[in-house]
Amino acid sequence: MSPRDGLQNEPGLIATADKIALVDRLSNCGFSKVEVTSFVSPKWVPQLGDAAQVMQGITRKTGVSYCVLTPNLRGFEAAVAAGADEVAIFASASEGFSQKNINCSVAESIARFEPVLAAAMAIEMPVRGYVSCVTDCPYDGPTDPARVADVAAQLIGLGCFEVSLGDTIGAGTQETVTKMLDAVLAKVPAQQLAGHFHDTKGNALGNIEVSLDAGLRCFDASAGGLGGCPYAPGAKGNVATEKVVQLLHDKGFETGIDLQRLQETAAFAQSLKGK
Ligand code: HMG
Ligand code: MG
């Protein structure tokens, strides 16, 4: 997530060449997927206004899928033109965040995603879905787990191959994440779920552990722990990828990731902050 979620909230504009270098370094760490950028309104997220140039500049590595965020059909078309391998749509389990982040209600966002899914299916482009604020919303407070399950099931029903469950402000605890997962798993199997934990309060690794226990095997993370959402006050970085890989290796999982290269990449990612 570092080139996208990691950089989207950085106040100073980061050079396109540095973003390209970050993606290329990640491509050489052994990841099967890198979320590169977002084809969103540059008025809303100025930092990612160079999405097309970044996509054009990266060196594509065989076996790596390059994914981008697309909030609407316009973003989808731009993503296809830029050669994205996969796109992601993003919904929220809370109304307050949906309004602030994409300027519409949750129901309106689902209706907006329908033509994106239809267009993607027509060209066999995989679409990932996000649900934000799965335990807590910066505007509406605690989120009802049933609501998360409903939105996740709607995204799968639309045709998403996977739904990433976002603890957008990193306020989730092992208890609230477990309750949320219990509700979601009643509607969507673990193989179609991913965990996306921000590490605001240092809970992310613990939340990944309870997610592993619940059967999840896909986790979003950001090298160097970069990140935050401009429309979620208080949201700090995503969980650091190098910490997640270390945890997984300690637990005996195989990840295919070169931890030393990842640590070098994390240092490079951090050097971009405040540049
Ligand atoms: P809007 O203002 O309601 O819609 O924004 P609009 O259709 O009136 O468009 C506004 C302007 O943007 C217009 O330009 C459009 O042409 C243009 P103007 O006429 O004013 O010059 N526009 C676009 N430009 C480029 N690409 C596009 C596009 N669409 C419209 N695709 C909109 C609605 C969804 C566009 C806006 O709210 C938006 O871009 N929001 C994105 C916010 C965002 O990227 N947030 C961060 C990602 S989500 C996140 O971080 C959470 C996550 O990590 C999971 C987690 O942690 O929970 C995924
Ligand atoms: Mg996020």
pLDDT, position 235:
73
Q: Which residues surround ligand 2, an ion (CB under 5 A)?
A: 5
Q: Over range 216-238, report the average pLDDT.
A: 89
Give the mean pLDDT of 55-60: 98
Query: Is the Cα dihedral 115, 121, 123, 124 positive or negative?
Result: positive
Mean pLDDT, residues 29-40 taken together: 98
What per-residue confidence (pLDDT) applies to 169?
95
The pLDDT of residue 57 is above 60: yes
Confidence check: pLDDT of 196 > 70:
yes
The residue ranges of every structural domain in the chain are 4-272
Give the helix/strand (H/E) hosting 211: helix 204-213
Fold of 4-272: TIM Barrel (3.20.20)
The percent of residues above 70 in pLDDT, for the chain, comes to 99
Which of 41, 77, 196 for a ligand 1 pocket mutation test, highest count of atoms within 8 Å of Cβ?
41
Q: What's the rounded mean pLDDT across residues 54-82?
A: 98
pLDDT-derived band at 227 (thresholds 50, 70, 90) equals confident
| Best probe residue, ligand 1, of 40, 134, 151, 222 (max atoms within 8 Å of C-beta) | 40
Quick one: average pLDDT of 155-172? 97
Give the model confidence (pLDDT) of 83-131 as tens digits: 999 999 999 999 999 999 999 999 999 999 999 999 999 999 999 999 9
Percentage of residues of the chain with pLDDT beyond 90: 93
Which of 235-239, 256-260, 267-271 has the weakest average pLDDT?
Answer: 235-239
What pLDDT score does 228 carry? 78
The separation between the first and the last C-alpha atoms of the chain, rounded to the nearest angstrom, is 19
The average pLDDT across 12-39 equals: 97
Burial class of residue 67 (count of CB atoms within 10 Å of its CB; 0-12, 13-18, 19+): buried
Does the beta carbon of 76 sit less than 6 angstroms from any atom of ligand 1?
no
Nearest one of 237, 232, 200, 235 to 220, comparing CA atoms = 237
pLDDT above 90 for 221: yes
Distance 13 CA to ligand 2 centre (A): 19
Calculate the dihedral angle through the C-alpha atoms of 250, 133, 183, 220, rounding to the nearest 10 degrees: -30
Predicted pLDDT of residue 273: 83
User: Closest Cα to atom 17, ligand 1: which residue?
Assistant: 41
What is the CB neighbour count within 10 angstroms for residue 175?
A: 10
Concerning whether 229 is annotated as a catalytic residue, the answer is yes
Q: What is the pLDDT of residue 274?
A: 64
CB of 200 closer than 6 angstroms to any ligand 1 atom: no
The stretch 133-162 carries a mean pLDDT of 98
Of the listed 67, 133, 137, 229, which one is catalytic? 229
Is the predicted pLDDT of residue 234 greater than 80, yes or no?
A: no
Q: 103: Cβ below 6 Å to ligand 1?
A: yes
Q: How many angstroms separate the alpha carbon of residue 121 from the centre of ligand 2?
A: 25
The interface predicted TM-score of the complex, written ipTM, equals 0.98
- Which ligand has its closest atom nearest to the C-alpha of 97? 1
Looking at the DSSP bridge assignments, the partners of residue 69 are: 38, 88
Please state the atom number of ligand 1 nearest to the C-alpha of residue 104: 3
Please report the DSSP string for 15-34 in residue order. Answer: PHHHHHHHHHHHHTTT-SEE
User: What average pLDDT does this structure show over 202-221?
Assistant: 98
Helix axes 259-272, 16-27, angle to 10 degrees: 170
Q: Is the pLDDT of residue 232 over 90?
A: no
Token digits of residue 177: 């994440």
- pLDDT for the residue numbered 230: 81
Q: Which helix (H) or strand (E) holds 67?
A: strand 65-69
**Contact 100 CB / ligand 1 (< 6 Å):** no
The vertex-97 CA angle with 95 and 101, nearest 5°, equals 120
